[in-house]
Structures are given as C-alpha cells and as structure tokens.
Amino acid sequence: MIVEIIDKCYDNIVESFSNTAILLNAVDVAVKRYSDGSNGIIALSTTANIPPDFMVNTFRERIYNVDDLVRNYQRIF
C-alpha cells in the first residue's frame, strides 16, 4: 500500500518536472524567435484563433507586439 502511494507521488513529481521543462523550453524558443526579428510577426493576439462558436463575450483580447513578446517571455524565463 505505502509503496503504491510513493510510486504515485514519484510519478506525479516526474510528470510535473517534465511539463515544467517543456514549458521552459517553449519559452526559450519563443524568446529566441521573437528576438530574432526576422520571423515576420508584427503582433500576437490572445483571441484571434478562437473559433467564433467558442468565443465568449467576456473575452478580452490582448495584442502583443514583438517588444512585448520578448519582454514578457524573458520575464517568465
């Protein structure tokens, strides 16, 4: 019984660590991509790709320009 509990806790820790590593990698890739300036991205909208059927009137769009993206990703990373 105790071994199963420990195994489950260990699995949860490893999964959490893996998810964190993936997110940190994604942030690092994004910082490098947006810092490069040659990717053609002018701005990123937080709601632009949500299908109309799933949009909610309370959604607030936020648009990040390249400088905002770099600054926010660097802050996270």
What confidence score (pLDDT) does residue 5 get? 93
Domain that holds residue 35: 2-76
The two structure tokens encoding residue 51: 């299908």
Q: Are 72 and 26 in contact (CB under 8 A)?
A: no
What confidence score (pLDDT) does residue 32 get? 81
DSSP letters spanning 27-72: HHHHHHHHHH--S---EEESSTTS-GGG--TT----EEEHHHHHHH
Q: Are 34 and 69 in contact (CB under 8 A)?
A: yes
State how far the Cα of 70 lies from the Cα of 44, in Å rounded to an integer: 12
What confidence score (pLDDT) does residue 60 get? 83
Q: What is the number of structural domains in the chain?
A: 1
Average pLDDT by consecutive 10-residue portion of the chain (77 residues)? Answer: 92 92 85 72 78 81 82 77
